[in-house]
Structure 1
Amino acid sequence: MKGLAPHPVTRWVIGILVGLFFAIPMVATLLYTLRDGDGYSLVHWATLFDPASAYLLRPLWLAIGNSLIIAVVTVVIVLVLLAPTIVLVNLKFPRLRRVFEFVALLPISIPAIVLVVGLVPVYLQIGRTIGTAPWTLAFAYGITALPFAFRSIQASVDAIDLRTLTEAARTLGSGWLTVLLRVLAPNLRPGLLAASLLTVAVVLGEFTIASILNRQVLQTALLVVGKTDAYLPAIFTLLSLAAVFVLLLVIGRVGRDRSERTRS
């Protein structure tokens, strides 16, 4: 196995190339927001604090709030439905694992435009039943985030001895809910955190479903505001990327602290 490991120089080269792949577009976007005539300044960033621009920023702040609410609801739906199902399939129905994996990964192969066309009649009924609040998009976003969340949680399930942990807890008298929440969930924390992060990223970056279903989220608001001020969408894109990056660091730190406590 050691012979298959890449040389340190190779790892550095790959790391630098990947870093440049992500850094160059972000730096270019940042320079674009700083452009002011023939030089650079913070005049476009000052728009965020200019009372005269409140009419432009109001839809963006509202859309950000909607997106955050949708992200939280989507994460809850995905984790509550997917994690117990993965555990159940691996414990009780291992022969169905491949079938379940195929179904869970299927949404990634379906274009968003096709998915939303099929969901339009469903959302007509949802609108009549519980209203057209933006958070209802969480049902559709849960489908689009399913493949990414499944891979993250399944990887954590494969990394632990699921059956032994479950049987030991059951032997000691724990109920299934206790086993799931107090025994398995702490061991699956890295996968659950990764699934949550990927779900949030999917929600913040999705445009097609929200646009066709006529919901106001971050991506649709950026398009509308961009028709008036081309710099604001770029600024908010950088801010959202920075927020996701901080979230990634927090999740990585939580997972690392958990691993260190487990080893000690």
Structure 2
Amino acid sequence: MTWVGRSVRGLVLLAFAVFFLVPLWALLDLSTKQVVTGGRTGAHWKALVENEQMRSAIITSLELAVLTVVLMLVLLLPTMIWVRLRVPRANRLVEFLCLLPLTVPPLVIVVGINGVYSWVNYFLGGSPLTLTFVYVVLVLPFAYRALDASLSAIDVTTLAEAARSLGAGWFTVIARVVAPNMLSGVLSAAFIGVALVLGEYTFSSLMHFDTLPVTIVLLGKSDTGASMAAALATMLLTALLLVALSLLDRRRSERN
């Protein structure tokens, strides 16, 4: 690579670094700044764990993230593998159903689903964890693409036929033969699910559930510093998850 190419690459990387790091630095500055004295304080960051409302919202969002990822993988992963192996003609139908939520605005989905959720709340109570069902629908298009790319990268038919010839049942084929070879796609889908849940505001706000994004917005009206700290902490957590995903995928590739 010539010095011109290296210079262009360096400038592009610098531009991206400035684009991403400057807002983060501004959030850190606002979340640690004392308005009256102009000094620095960590009180706003301590409020993330001391403020009961914020602590409850963080726990709720983390629980929603775990439940959403688990339910999404339980529903989508076996279905995609089974369709690929047994009924490949239905692959287009499954793709269409998974990508359908992208074509409907979230506000329209909320209005349409309110009637259904009256029954959900009746049977399961008014817990914010019932948002899991909505979040699974929202994450389906992105998770499908991640899993489909991973599934297309391996010879599923050969793996399944080899396992079946050794006496493995279909559950063993899906859970212990094919799924472990899709680890990178599973991790990508899980990360997408976590990122979506931690940042989703429209559904939880319109359905009157106090998740982390809703609480950050409400807290910003009374304590701007604490809301900035919560927003920065959420972005840092998402970035750490991305780094962890990259490291796990790299280690897996090196072992193979």
Does the TM-score normalized on the shorter chain lie above 0.5?
Answer: yes
Equivalent of 2:28, from 22, 27, 30?
A: 30
Change (3 A) 1:83 1:12: farther
Partner of 2:40: 42
Structure 2 counterparts to residues 211-250 of structure 1, below 5 A: 211-250=205-244
1:84 aligns with 2:78: yes
- Contact 2:160 2:173 survives alignment (8 Å): yes
Q: Counterparts of 1:244 and 1:55 in 2: how far apart (Å)?
A: 18
Partner of 1:57: 51
Q: Counterparts of 1:227 and 1:159 in 2: how far apart (Å)?
A: 48
Deviations 1:129-188 (A, max 9, x none): 111111110000001111111111111001111111111111111111111111111110
More divergent stretch after superposition (90-99 vs 141-150): 90-99
Structure 2 counterparts to residues 244-259 of structure 1, below 5 A: 244-259=238-253
More divergent stretch after superposition (53-62 vs 112-121): 53-62
Partner of 2:169: 175
Question: Percent identity at matched positions?
Answer: 38
Counting matched residue pairs gives 252
- Contact 1:34 1:40 survives alignment (8 Å): no
Change (3 A) 1:12 1:160: farther
- The AA in structure 1 aligned to 2:200 is E
- Contact 2:204 2:211 survives alignment (8 Å): yes
Deviation at 1:39, TM superposition (A): 8.0
Q: Counterparts of 1:16 and 1:183 in 2: how far apart (Å)?
A: 43
Deviation at 1:96, TM superposition (A): 2.5
Deviation at 1:10, TM superposition (A): 5.4
- Contact 1:56 1:225 survives alignment (8 Å): no
TM-score, normalized by length of structure 2? 0.91
Partner of 1:207: 201
Structure 2 counterparts to residues 183-202 of structure 1, below 5 A: 183-202=177-196
- Contact 1:48 1:57 survives alignment (8 Å): no
Equivalent of 2:109, from 107, 115, 119?
A: 115
Change (3 A) 1:66 1:164: same
Partner of 1:3: none
- Contact 1:149 1:198 survives alignment (8 Å): yes
Q: Counterparts of 2:209 and 2:30 in 1: how far apart (Å)?
A: 29
Deviation at 1:32, TM superposition (A): 2.4
- Contact 1:112 1:209 survives alignment (8 Å): yes
Deviations 1:190-249 (A, max 9, x none): 000010010001001111111111111001111221111111111011111111222222
- The AA in structure 2 aligned to 1:77 is L
Equivalent of 2:68, from 60, 63, 74?
A: 74
Q: Counterparts of 1:253 and 1:97 in 2: how far apart (Å)?
A: 31
More divergent stretch after superposition (122-131 vs 240-249): 240-249
Q: Counterparts of 1:216 and 1:29 in 2: how far apart (Å)?
A: 22
- The AA in structure 1 aligned to 2:101 is P
Change (3 A) 1:129 1:26: same
TM-score, normalized by length of structure 1? 0.88
Change (3 A) 1:199 1:78: same
Partner of 1:4: none
1:152 aligns with 2:146: yes
Q: Find the residue that maps to 2:51 and give its secondary structure.
A: helix
